[in-house]
């Protein structure tokens, strides 16, 4: 059974770069699309971006200047980097699967499998 698990520092200093990894187990990255989503009490849920296993990424325009999503197929992982963080980036970060079929060439843009989420706090 496919599972996703987020990992990374729970505390990041302002102006630094937030880095998270999502490890996919029980299946391959190669068939679907993958995403990062974050959730805060104040702003609710926010889509950060999507990636496929060959590294084509799509970002939320509101975050695009600060976000990089990449994939490492050898480790069955994909990662999130968010630069120049502020307190407003404090959130629970989720990785998720978009069940679209990469080999048919389209994403569904909704999410049928989620990691448990990881809280990242931005504070000095």
The residues of the shown chain that bind another protein, judged by CB under 8 A, are 44-47, 58, 60-62, 94, 108-112, 114-117
Q: In the structure encoding, which two tokens stand for residue 115, read together?
A: 């990691």
Return the number of the residue (90 or 107) whose C-beta is nearest another protein.
107
**Nearest to another protein of 10, 124 (CB atom):** 10
Q: How far is the CB of 112 from another protein (least distance, A)?
A: 5
We find the least distance from the C-beta atom of residue 7 to another protein, in angstroms, to be 15
Smaller CB separation from another protein, 30 or 99: 99
Least gap, CB of 79 to another protein (angstroms): 19
- Using alpha carbons, list the distances in angstroms from residue 110 to 1, 40, 57, 119, 120: 19, 19, 15, 22, 23
Nearest to 50 by CA among 38, 59, 41, 42: 59
Q: 30 — phi, psi (to 5°)?
A: -75, -5
């Amino acid at each position: 059974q496919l599972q996703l698990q987020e990992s990374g520092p729970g505390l990041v200093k302002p102006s630094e770069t937030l880095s998270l990894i999502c490890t996919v187990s029980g299946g391959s990255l190669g068939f679907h699309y993958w995403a990062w989503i974050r959730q805060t009490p104040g702003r609710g849920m926010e889509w950060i971006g999507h990636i496929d296993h060959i590294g084509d990424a799509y970002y939320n325009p509101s975050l695009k200047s600060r976000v990089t999503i990449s994939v490492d197929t050898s480790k069955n992982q994909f990662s999130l980097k968010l630069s120049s963080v502020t307190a407003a980036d404090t959130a629970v970060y989720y990785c998720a699967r978009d069940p679209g079929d990469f080999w048919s060439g389209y994403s569904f843009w909704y999410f049928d499998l989620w990691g448990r989420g990881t809280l990242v706090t931005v504070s000095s």
